[in-house]
């Protein structure tokens, strides 16, 4: 099973709302990722969790707050977002290699619209 699931599929929120995006994988992968993708652009890395610990934060604004409750789950908490944050948010997971970089498997994404 190479499936990563994400909920919700679509989300519309106001700038004062608080919402959360959820991601789950059962492939035993110990690395999980959040990406942001704008139209006609490649995915842009936001956060990396390795062994449930935050290992990379690509200078993401604090209105995005990641959380990794266990090795299968990854959340992204959203608060006070701006309209320019509207995008497709992709979760991915991968095994962890000691050298090189392994294949990442992506979830279907959450399409976020901020009004």
Partner 1 sequence: RKEVEQDPGPFNVPEGATVAFNCTYSNSASQSFFWYRQDCRKEPKLLMSVYSSGNEDGRFTAQLNRASQYISLLIRDSKLSDSATYLCVSGGGYNKLIFGAGTRLAVHP
Q: Which residue has the tokens 């959820």?
A: 22
80: left (phi over 0), alpha (psi -120 to 50) or beta: left
Cβ-based neighbours of 15, under 8 Å, separated by 6 or more: 80, 81, 82, 83, 114, 115
Q: Could you tell me which stretch among 10-18, 19-27, 66-74, 89-97 binds partner 1 (CB under 8 A)?
A: 89-97
* Contact range with partner 1 by CB under 8 A, out of 16-24, 60-68, 74-82, 88-96: 88-96
Among residues 61, 97, 113, 115, the one that binds partner 1 under rule CB under 8 A: 97
- How many residues are given for the chain? 115
Our finding on whether 96 is near partner 1 (CB under 8 A) is yes
Q: How far is the CB of 72 from partner 1 (least distance, A)?
A: 17
CB 31, CB 49: distance < 8 Å: yes
Shortest spacing between CB 36 and partner 1, in angstroms: 12
CA atoms within 13 A on the CB side of 81: 24
- Residue window 36-75: x/- pattern of binding to partner 1, with contact defined by CB under 8 A: -----xxx-x--x-x----xx-------------------
């Amino acid at each position: 099973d190479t499936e990563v699931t994400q909920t919700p599929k679509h989300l519309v929120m106001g700038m004062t709302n608080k919402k959360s995006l959820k991601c789950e994988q059962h492939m035993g992968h110990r690395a999980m990722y959040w990406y942001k993708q704008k139209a006609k652009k490649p995915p842009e890395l936001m956060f990396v969790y390795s062994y449930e610990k935050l290992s990379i934060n690509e200078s993401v604004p604090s209105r995005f707050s990641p959380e990794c409750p266990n090795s299968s789950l990854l959340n992204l908490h959203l608060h006070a977002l701006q309209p320019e944050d509207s995008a497709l948010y992709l979760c991915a997971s991968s095994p962890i290699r000691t050298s090189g970089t392994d294949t990442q498997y992506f979830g279907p994404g959450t399409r976020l619209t901020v009004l």
